[in-house]
Structure 1
């Protein structure tokens, strides 16, 4: 499936103006987010944390972030560059680490999804460099 993503990145049609994504959107960030949302450990991060169900969360976490909020931002062109997307993804995991115990189910899910994201993001950066010439 990542070979398909790589093919899309190199595809001549991917660079034509009629098929170019909105500002701040790229096929790569859309694919990465879609795969993160489908990951088996994404369940705690799909929607914003409900402060009624998780008392004290907003007191500890000053800048909440989740995959649903990232999707909304991506679809609305809220990222001016892919690095802003990556910053939000890392914020999800940093917030998880700050609020949850390492060996809790949510803490383990956060570490797993972070590793997944970092591998995909590294792949994205590699292909971006490889095909930027």
Structure 2
């Protein structure tokens, strides 16, 4: 796993917690670890990189999850070129982080979650 940049994608959740994701090229090979991930379209705009949020999910194994992803066609349709990774061993914490992020933020390929789920 080699990072695309030393910069991080910072996402604020419904709880106002900030989550910091490492940024990788979408075709990177990943170690067999779990966490929360975000597919994004990263573009240089006015000398700064911006991310269009495409899909957020969680997994206990990134390489297994990214093979034949169930939202692959939507992710490609929205030109995702990065996958942003937050490693988290705890399944309960992964669930919490994913829900927190999805309630607060809009993703092209995810349904918006209701805050009652948090």
Q: Determine which structure has the larger strand proportion and give its number.
A: 2
The two structures have a TM-score, normalised by structure 1, of: 0.27
Which is greater in Rg? 1
Q: Determine which structure has the larger helix proportion and give its number.
A: 1
